[in-house]
Structure 1
Amino acid sequence: MDQEHLIRLLLLEFEYLQKAIDKFDALRLAIKGWTVTTVGALIAVGVTTATTLVPLLGLFVVLFFAYMEIVYLDVQLGVKRRSEQIDSYLHDPAIAAGSYQFGMRHAFLGRFRMRNIPSMLATRPEVYNFYLGLSMASGLGSLLVWVIR
């Protein structure tokens, strides 16, 4: 494969990877929106019906959506790793000449493992703080219903 063709392939894949990263960012933001909306609705229903159990369901909702976001985050990190690899190839195409294989599938080769969650979240306090805050809001909503009932 000649140098010019290699660089075109690298640029094409890099562009696709950047679009995929943007899509995962949008999906993660949408998941956060769904979580806030659902937990807020459960708290409102709990207050309206004076049922303490309804806001507590929000804890399970928070866990479900947090798990969804963590899975998307894991996939996004794989795409970012591949993007960084392609970026390094673009800076030194001689490295890529012998080892590069075209295709976004290389960004999705790993499997999701629960044991990777702590290391993933270690540098992303915004993720776990968001879901901890919503869990607290759900618990406080249930406590509020219990107090005013």
Structure 2
Amino acid sequence: MDVDLLRKQLETEYLHLQKVVEDFDSRTLLIKGWSVTFSLAQIVAGFTSASPSLFLIAALTATLFWALETSWKGFQYAYHGRIRDIEAYFSAESPPPIPAFQISARWFETFHAEVAGRYFEFARWPHVCLPHAVVVVLGLGMYVVY
């Protein structure tokens, strides 16, 4: 294969992958927004209606959004295997050729080798657990106290 063509194809693939990863981040902000809006609305409703069960609902919904975001982070992380491959290709002085357009194959390989089984590790990352964990603790605490 022509080296210049391969470089161009890998460059195109790399830029696409960077866009995919950035799109995951924007969707993550949407998930966080839904979580905060719905869960905190439940906490306010629990105060105004004097219904402590709404505090539990707030904690439960925040937990579900936290679980969703954790899964989402794992899906995003699986793209980094291919990104690393392409970066290694471009950083080598005389790189061996690698096949272009291997996003899907490498995603599944990375997911099974590096992501699967790390769900609870991802869930503890501060940029994943916040603000969900705060709302869970707040909801449960308010249920116990109220």
- The answer to whether the superposition gives a TM-score over 0.5 is yes
**CA spacing shift, 1:96–1:24, aligned 2, 3 Å:** farther
**CA spacing shift, 1:106–1:90, aligned 2, 3 Å:** farther
Matched residue, 1:118: 120
1:106: how far off?
Answer: 3.1
**CA spacing shift, 1:10–1:101, aligned 2, 3 Å:** closer
Determine the C-alpha separation between the residues in 1 that align with 2:61 and 2:17.
31
In structure 1, runs of 5+ residues without a counterpart are none
TM-score (norm 1): 0.82
1:128: how far off?
Answer: 2.7
Matched residue, 1:139: 140
1:90: how far off?
Answer: 1.9
SS at 1:95 equivalent = coil
SS at 2:101 equivalent = coil
Indicate the structure with greater helix content.
Answer: 1
Q: Which has the higher contact order (CA 8 A, sep 6+)?
A: 1
In structure 2, runs of 5+ residues without a counterpart are none
Q: Which moved more, 1:12-21 or 1:104-113?
A: 104-113
Matched residue, 2:103: 104
TM-score (norm 2): 0.84
Partners of 1:17 and 1:79 within 8 A in 2: yes
**One-letter amino acid of the counterpart of residue 51, structure 1:** S
1:74: how far off?
Answer: 0.5
How many correspondences in the alignment?
Answer: 142
Q: Percent identity?
A: 23
Report Cα offsets for 1:68-89 as digits up to 9, x if no partner. Answer: 1111100111112211211111
